[in-house]
Structure 1
Amino acid sequence: MQRTSRILTTALALVLGAGGLAALPAAAAPAPAVVDHCGNQCADILPPGQNGNATLAEILAHRVLGTRPAHSADQLGKYADLASGYRGLTTSTINKFFNDASFGVPPDQVESTSKPRADVTIVRDKATGVPHITGTTRSGLQFGAGYAAAQDRLWLMDIFRRVGRGQLSPFAGGAQGNRDLERQFFGAAPYTEADLQAQVDRVANSGPRGKQGLADATDYIAGINAYITAAYNGRYFPGEYVLTGHVDAITNAGRIEPFKLTDLVVLSSVVGAQFGGGGGGEVQAAIAKLAVQERYGVEKAEEVWRGLRAEDDPETVRTLHDGQSFPYGKTPANAQGRAMPQPGSVTPQQTVFDEVGGKGAQVRVPAPAEQEPLRGEFADGVLPANLLSEKHGMSNALVVSGKHTESGNPVAVFGPQTGYFAPQLLMLQELQGPGISARGASFAGLSMYVLLGRGQDYSWSATTSAQDIIDTYAVELCEPNGGTPTKESNAYRFRGQCLPMDVVERQNSWKPTVADGTPAGSYTLRAYRTAYGPVTHRALVDGKPVAYASLRSTYLNEIDSLIGFQEINDPAAITSAAAFQRAAHKINYTFNWFYADAKDTAYFNSGANPVRNPVVDPAMPIRGDAGFDWQGWNPDGNRANYTPFEQHPNSINQDFYISWNNAQAKDYAAGGYEKSSVHRGDLLDSRVRALIAGGKKVTRVNLTQAMAEAALADLRAERVLPELLRLIDRAPVTDPATAAAVTKLREWRDRGALRAETKPGSKAYADADAIKIMDAWWPLLVRGQFEPGMGKQAFDAMVDVLKINESPSGWQNEVPGKHVGQPHQGSAYQAGWWGYVHKDIRTVLGDQVSGPLGTTYCGGGDANACRQILLDTLKQAAAQPVNQVYPGDADCGAGDQWCADALIHRPLGGITHSKINTQNRPTFQQVVEFRTKR
């Protein structure tokens, strides 16, 4: 307690006194030596704020006095207010909800100017604190980018390099969330230091761009480390280093480890795993398909499975809607090489060994006497435990050709959705120097280049595309000494040999408090690797033990995308829409890229798409070492043949583009399952089509309004409820409670089916009863509609492949104990059974359904029986108490509907932020319209 008191006293003295990093006096920013062609028509937003670092003094003052560091939350209110202010939006009020994203800083708006090195200047603006970095040399520019990144996100960068190495718990404590997360990332990318360095060396030797990338990365790392040294010596480093026991608050004894080049590979792998991968899940899919076969028989099951797979569904919304065809990833007729597991034989690969103690161990923030422990104690871990396991493709884009705009110039509203965290995973910056001219967002620790943003006369953004670049291969297990193999054997057959698996280990232990050096727990993380990648499961196939291994095309190739981003930031390289597409093709992660300048719009789907053996089914496990490998595949470095530029979905100047992680183009089997007849992309597509079809010219205002309204719309109520009501309306509803529920749902749908407040700041929905009924009804409806026909085993197995529900609150569980959801993350309706329900109900109604489900589920196809299921489940939902639908959590009381939906910036450090109303929209977003072009 005495130690805690001293820490608090010292910290408060600092925060109330001089404290912190003293910036140089504000001075006029040097005018950028470029022409800004946006003409004040570019805007962006990144809540909660640019500043993601806080000293110990600032963290404790936040807890005691309620203060926050400057620029840590000044974009949150703007972002939140769009939900209630979009209807009255005008050209002159856009910047009430977005930041001015023009190049440079007017002299009267300069907050600080610093020169961490003679050849670079960092100017921060008063409004947001965004760093505008100008280098007289490229080396200086990159040094400044690294320095500014560490100023704004050092703690976050440090966390993520630990996560990617599977070593978060020794760094941030043994909370269960930390351990769960490090296991997930380690299992997906169990790299050795030699693996990481080999990736650096290969890209550096790939040509002039690769050589330049190495030089950029080296200078960038030098800038990060220069800030670490200055902050440590000046004692203004992030306070979390004290709270986790790495630096002593009184003596300053301790160490903040410098960054190294291989850390950039680790950070790239973490970002790529969350947002730039696609495919996988073949083992779960195989289990589900076998359960469907058990229910329907092999022949009928093929038809049923095709319907559930929703591969290239003819009714789904696509980004390219002019009939363009880009065949890729589809299941061939009479597929060969499937490695289906024997039912009940699949077990996940164990990754944790020799675990000792540690249950509930955590790092505690020092707290004043008589004060409740501070929220920043990281009791649940410093990062969400489901960061990798949950889908993270939540971005969207609306881009309209100049043919349909008021000005004749293209208009775009687009951005990535990377989740709500404090601080944000992304950070804003402007980079101006030799070969680089851009402003926008970059992931913390990967800000050598702007990853999403604008150049001198063009802007670009991305959404996660998730086309399939991951295959699961089954390798036959063996014993090197010739003995009988079992599922526990750690050798496999490959190219005529019985090879031992590579074993990569991490020895992790952690301490319980900053005051006690006794280890609280420890374990060994162990990954088994084959030539086909890390082992994920063990099973029996045709009576023989196998290991299932995950082969991802970006595995061992995490930083290849550096070349594409380098070009996108280079104004000399990006002179046209076509040039942008070619640069995007050099990005090996799976993204949909959108581009707009004063004349053209463009789209390109990136990713290292492997050229598969044409006879394999990519949706199922494949037999390894049996002639079914990727074409040209070399396990040394995991290189293969990849589909060429022309085979990737691409387009220039389509009338408009929308994307919300929906299907890309006809014949392009990207993902599947959820890409059915109803997808949240419909919410954007229908609104943009209405603008164009109505003859109304598109502007930045009405395109932003279309996005904002879609962000509040309930996909189920807008797209599926009308079909449900058609069936219900076949006869009068006689039960009073059910009839009242039908009326409420219908009136809500007629008013737009929005989850909107009664008035700004009311924290209550205008259609609260209808929203509660829909939230309660959906999981009951789906189970009642599908489980009797599918059978429980097949139904539950399909839920493991595609979760039923993703409402904004995320509380409505479809299977007890499973799929709790994603409360407070904002993104909603990405994955669910919306299309299944939609197709099945229309089939029952006798409609013509393209791409049918293969059988009729609801009521066995009898309309009256199906209608009764709808009524029975609706009555049950209407009677469900509100505190059961929204059971509450650490942030919300039971029954608080608005709070259950509310966006909460999950604290990744010591600073927390206020809840805001739900919005299903990007976390970084641009609104752009260029008037001129170079």
Structure 2
Amino acid sequence: MSPLRLVIATLTATCLCAAPALAAAPADYAGTARNIIPSGQYGTFPVPAGADEQAKMYDALTPLGANVTDAALQTDFKSALFGTDGQCPCTTEAVPRRGLTIVRDRFDVPHITGTTKDDVTWGAGWVLEEDRGLLLAQGRYPARFAALDAPGINAFKLVTGLKTVTVTKQADAIIDREQTAALRGAGAEGRALLHDIDVYIQGINARLRAEKSTQKPFTRVDVYAVNALAGQIFGQGGGDEARRAMLLSGLQKRLGARKGKQVFDDLSERDDRDTPVTIARRFPYEAVPTRAATGNVALDDTRISAATTRGLRVAAARSERHSSNFLMVSAKRSLTGHPLFVAGPQIGYYYPGLTLEMDLHGPGIDARGAAIPGGPGNILIGRGADFAWSLTSAGSDTNDVFAETLCGGSSTRYRYRGRCRTMGRVDAGTIVGQGKVAFRTTVHGPVLGYAKSHGRKVALSFDRASRGRDVLWELMFSRFSSGRVKDPKSFFAAAATSPFTFNVAYADDRHIATYSAGRLPIRDPRVDPRLPTNGTGPYDWKGFLPAAKHAQALDPADGALVNWNNKPAPGFGPSDSEWGYGSVHRVQLLKAGIARRAKHDLASVTGAMNAAATTDLRAAGTTLDAIDRVLASGPAPSPRDQQVLGLLMAWRAAGSSRLDTDLDGKMDAGGAPAVLDALYPRVADAVLSPVLGSQLGALSDIAGLTNSTRSGFTGGRLAFVDKDLRQLLGDPLRTRYRTRFCGKGVLAACRAALWAAVHAAADEVATAQGTGDPAAWTSDATAERITFAPGLLPTTIRYTNRPSGIQQVMTFTGHRPR
């Protein structure tokens, strides 16, 4: 417990089990309920002793790979049962509100029990400030820029960069007006959520007063803004149409209109039938027009300003995804006869953590799991009495760039619905050391910058389907936390309320289900969704996708639902910022782990997740095999090159793990991982450069230069390399490129380019390690150990690519009366 908490908390008798005086735990139908949050519950500085306990437990699972046992589930995860039974020693806090009890278990998790629901909601606000006061103080003002979509501003990086921000009354007024109206427009449920927000704020401010804080009291705008920040990081997709358009323009200028468009279409991977999906059923959404798309604006491939470049990059980065995953096995494939649920969000590693755990109980609320700032008495990801839920970022196409026609040479007047309008202006605030944040707006949203179309200047504005309604995200969690979700039908209805785009997972004692959520625009049929939309009015959005047409599944025939930020279903069009829904994807590692057994228990499902978390997709998937087969079509240029290839293929045969099990600072695989790290970007360049030419840099900037631990094995042009090489080798593929990239389709030329890449990578590793003998090379495991940003917690843990915001391991054996 932190020194600050000791000032105002009265610690009661320490118990070795749940104290009899505590309120009895509510009905709990879990057979097994375990979880872990590596950032832990503590959030103060100086860092208190024991703050890294969960990080060490989390790290202990990593070297087990697929060999996870029931015993490991007990030691490497902690209890997520309702109440404190078996989770003590416990302490009870003194709080200035009758009807509210807060008990802390041995991991400092607060078990909040209220006589009324308002007591619980107030207590959640109190605990939030108590446990995440540093994070709140740092994040509340930068989060405003996320709610406003301030061009070129990555609000989350302002938070993690410890930037000081001031905001204007105009900014707060815009956010308050839009979000409050959205809540009131949601009827009785929205008004109830607004009430919860007000009570939650009272709890935060009561804690600030108890701490004698000099901060300004929290307001609704703070809650609205932090929800918008969560959406900016994880809950959006698209917004990269302008950079795509300039890439297309460059390709067509160099290759000709027809050939350039063909290359662009291949790289877009719009509906690749070889890409792995979570749901087998086809859900058509957002097709590319079969005829000429008259509702788009072409952009010239010419120099744009630094400010516009920054605006376009940040807009596209808002669809950034990490490593959230879920693995659900149905009752028919479970050894227990009940569904198995292993799931969690990957939101990076921070101290203070971006999430914190709460166990909430009172009239109308029974829930436990990860909460976030801005969740007014709700659990973000967790469990109810008889079901669990989780999220992965879906990145579906919620955002668009509109190209605005400017009037009479003006930069601030644009044509919309037949007349010229003057752009609005927002003075949002100031970032210390960076300057003032101010921007123009059109009817579509903030102006990101300017470009040229056929030599004429156009403004590029950014529209986001969830803007002004970010807080409505909480409706879903309110339904989950209050027990209003009782079955798959009510689950689907709850998930459909989310304006942010997430794949939502659900499991109870009988069923598994998933729903791909988000307020997804329906584009005009004359608009190619990959490119900027003509902003003059006729091509605006035509409504939003009905809930019944969202990708969704219940108890699939194959008995499993697995997602790792992959495409949710066939036909479900990816956003324009997605460049990785091709023939290879990291979700294949999870699917393979589930496919290895006809029936599973929780330990084996956890093992499938854990093994994939340290596996190098580039080696374990089909890509390295394809590289080897191309190289094997001719002799190696030198014995060393052949030896290097042998290292890689031996590593592949051994499982492609990047583990350092004995903690000697070197990966168990020897030098192979270091070789592949040096080789892969060169291979990608070698495969794509014969056709991409001068556009290779633009593609790499958009799609990522490399696929590696840094990207969580997403993007980085891997899908392009995989499909092109496999097509060159004659592999059966359901969707084929019309373009031949590597060697322009000539095997000998491709082979020579790949051997050159191998030779150059080997030279790099030999120079770095001071020896030309590949057998003596090693791979540095220390360099990729995980640190907790921004550096307050000194503990580091092994590299792993698994959920970090919370990870749940759950199964339920009963249910409330149906």
**TM-score for the superposition, normalised by structure 2:** 0.91
SS in 1 for 2:215: coil
Question: Which residue of structure 2 aligns with residue 92 of structure 1?
Answer: 71
Contact 2:321 2:395 in 1 (8 A): no
Given the alignment, which residue of 596, 617, 620 partners 1:715? 617
Are positions 1:317 and 2:198 aligned together?
A: no
Question: Which residue of structure 2 aligns with residue 371 of structure 1?
Answer: none
> Structure 1 184/544 Cα, relative in aligned 2: closer, same or farther at 3 Å?
farther
How far apart in 2 are the matches of 1:394 and 1:218?
Answer: 33
Are positions 1:336 and 2:218 aligned together?
A: no
The alpha-carbon deviation at position 305 of structure 1 amounts to 1.5
Any residues of structure 2 matched to 1:697-708 within 5 Å, and which? Answer: 697-708=599-610
Q: Which amino acid aligns with 2:356?
A: M
Question: Which residue of structure 2 aligns with residue 377 of structure 1?
Answer: none
> Structure 1 346/412 Cα, relative in aligned 2: closer, same or farther at 3 Å?
same
Any residues of structure 2 matched to 1:252-263 within 5 Å, and which? Answer: 255-263=214-222
Question: Which residue of structure 2 aligns with residue 474 of structure 1?
Answer: 403
Are positions 1:919 and 2:803 aligned together?
A: no
The alpha-carbon deviation at position 287 of structure 1 amounts to 0.9
Question: Which residue of structure 2 aligns with residue 857 of structure 1?
Answer: 741
> Structure 1 318/443 Cα, relative in aligned 2: closer, same or farther at 3 Å?
same
> Structure 1 495/674 Cα, relative in aligned 2: closer, same or farther at 3 Å?
same
Any residues of structure 2 matched to 1:676-695 within 5 Å, and which? Answer: 676-692=582-598
Given the alignment, which residue of 662, 679, 682 partners 1:760? 662
Any residues of structure 2 matched to 1:603-614 within 5 Å, and which? Answer: 603-614=514-525
Question: Which residue of structure 2 aligns with residue 669 of structure 1?
Answer: 573
How far apart in 2 are the matches of 1:155 and 1:319?
Answer: 38
Q: Which amino acid aligns with 1:24?
A: L
Contact 2:239 2:315 in 1 (8 A): no
Q: Which amino acid aligns with 1:879?
A: D
> Structure 1 179/457 Cα, relative in aligned 2: closer, same or farther at 3 Å?
closer
Question: Which residue of structure 1 aligns with residue 775 of structure 2?
Answer: none
Could you give the per-residue CA deviations for residues 733-757 of structure 1, whole angstroms, max 9, x where no partner exists? Answer: 3511101101101110000011011
Given the alignment, which residue of 442, 445, 450 partners 1:533? 445
SS in 1 for 2:59: helix
The alpha-carbon deviation at position 258 of structure 1 amounts to 1.4
Are positions 1:904 and 2:787 aligned together?
A: yes
How far apart in 2 are the matches of 1:286 and 1:387?
Answer: 13
How far apart in 2 are the matches of 1:755 and 1:124?
Answer: 37
How far apart in 1 are the matches of 2:398 and 2:156?
Answer: 31
User: RMSD value over aligned CA atoms?
Assistant: 3.0
Contact 2:171 2:427 in 1 (8 A): no
Could you give the per-residue CA deviations for residues 882-907 of structure 1, whole angstroms, max 9, x where no partner exists? Answer: 78599xxxxxxxx9821221111112
Contact 2:501 2:519 in 1 (8 A): yes
> Structure 1 466/193 Cα, relative in aligned 2: closer, same or farther at 3 Å?
same
Any residues of structure 2 matched to 1:142-291 within 5 Å, and which? Answer: 142-166=121-145, 178=158, 191-232=171-212, 255-291=214-250
> Structure 1 309/32 Cα, relative in aligned 2: closer, same or farther at 3 Å?
farther
Question: Which residue of structure 2 aligns with residue 437 of structure 1?
Answer: 366
Question: Which residue of structure 2 aligns with residue 373 of structure 1?
Answer: none
How far apart in 2 are the matches of 1:153 and 1:847?
Answer: 53
Q: Which moved more, 1:394-403 or 1:831-840?
A: 831-840
> Structure 1 523/913 Cα, relative in aligned 2: closer, same or farther at 3 Å?
same
Contact 1:49 1:71 in 2 (8 A): no
Q: Which amino acid aligns with 2:175?
A: D
The alpha-carbon deviation at position 676 of structure 1 amounts to 0.4
SS in 2 for 1:302: helix
> Structure 1 139/659 Cα, relative in aligned 2: closer, same or farther at 3 Å?
same
Question: Which residue of structure 2 aligns with residue 577 of structure 1?
Answer: 488
Q: Which amino acid aligns with 1:682?
A: Q
Unaligned runs of 5+ in 2: 148-154, 771-777
Contact 2:29 2:386 in 1 (8 A): yes
Question: Which residue of structure 1 aligns with residue 503 of structure 2?
Answer: 592
Q: Which amino acid aligns with 2:173?
A: E
The alpha-carbon deviation at position 447 of structure 1 amounts to 5.0
How far apart in 1 are the matches of 2:721 and 2:338?
Answer: 40
The alpha-carbon deviation at position 296 of structure 1 amounts to 2.3
> Structure 1 470/524 Cα, relative in aligned 2: closer, same or farther at 3 Å?
same
Contact 2:286 2:529 in 1 (8 A): yes
How far apart in 1 are the matches of 2:586 and 2:712?
Answer: 9
The alpha-carbon deviation at position 833 of structure 1 amounts to 1.4
> Structure 1 446/71 Cα, relative in aligned 2: closer, same or farther at 3 Å?
farther
How far apart in 2 are the matches of 1:540 and 1:862?
Answer: 38
SS in 1 for 2:356: strand
SS in 2 for 1:271: helix
Contact 1:183 1:351 in 2 (8 A): no
Q: Which amino acid aligns with 1:202?
A: A
Aligned length: 786
How far apart in 1 are the matches of 2:53 and 2:563?
Answer: 29
The alpha-carbon deviation at position 764 of structure 1 amounts to 1.4
Contact 1:616 1:622 in 2 (8 A): yes
The alpha-carbon deviation at position 843 of structure 1 amounts to 2.0
Are positions 1:47 and 2:6 aligned together?
A: no
Could you give the per-residue CA deviations for residues 137-193 of structure 1, whole angstroms, max 9, x where no partner exists? Answer: 11111100000111110110222211123499xxxxxx9974997999999xx9442
Question: Which residue of structure 2 aligns with residue 34 of structure 1?
Answer: 26
Contact 2:67 2:607 in 1 (8 A): no
- Quick one: percent identity of the two aligned structures? 30
> Structure 1 600/858 Cα, relative in aligned 2: closer, same or farther at 3 Å?
same
Given the alignment, which residue of 133, 139, 149 partners 2:112? 133
Contact 2:156 2:229 in 1 (8 A): no
How far apart in 2 are the matches of 1:509 and 1:52?
Answer: 25
Q: Which moved more, 1:418-427 or 1:841-850?
A: 841-850
Contact 1:307 1:851 in 2 (8 A): no
The alpha-carbon deviation at position 430 of structure 1 amounts to 0.8
The alpha-carbon deviation at position 860 of structure 1 amounts to 1.9
Q: Which amino acid aligns with 2:337?
A: G
Question: Which residue of structure 2 aligns with residue 815 of structure 1?
Answer: none
> Structure 1 135/205 Cα, relative in aligned 2: closer, same or farther at 3 Å?
farther
The alpha-carbon deviation at position 71 of structure 1 amounts to 4.4
Q: Which amino acid aligns with 1:51?
A: Y
How far apart in 2 are the matches of 1:163 and 1:551?
Answer: 20
How far apart in 1 are the matches of 2:60 and 2:459?
Answer: 52
SS in 2 for 1:907: coil
Question: Which residue of structure 1 aligns with residue 536 of structure 2?
Answer: 625
Q: Which moved more, 1:652-661 or 1:727-736?
A: 727-736
How far apart in 2 are the matches of 1:98 and 1:386?
Answer: 37
How far apart in 2 are the matches of 1:500 and 1:287?
Answer: 27
Q: Which amino acid aligns with 1:215?
A: H
Question: Which residue of structure 1 aligns with residue 764 of structure 2?
Answer: 880
How far apart in 1 are the matches of 2:162 and 2:436?
Answer: 12
Contact 1:71 1:129 in 2 (8 A): no
Are positions 1:769 and 2:726 aligned together?
A: no
Given the alignment, which residue of 645, 651, 656 partners 2:560? 656
The alpha-carbon deviation at position 523 of structure 1 amounts to 2.3
How far apart in 2 are the matches of 1:661 and 1:462?
Answer: 10
Are positions 1:749 and 2:749 aligned together?
A: no
Any residues of structure 2 matched to 1:383-532 within 5 Å, and which? Answer: 391-478=320-407, 484-486=408-410, 489-508=411-430, 510=432, 523-532=435-444
SS in 2 for 1:630: coil
SS in 2 for 1:214: helix
Contact 1:592 1:606 in 2 (8 A): yes
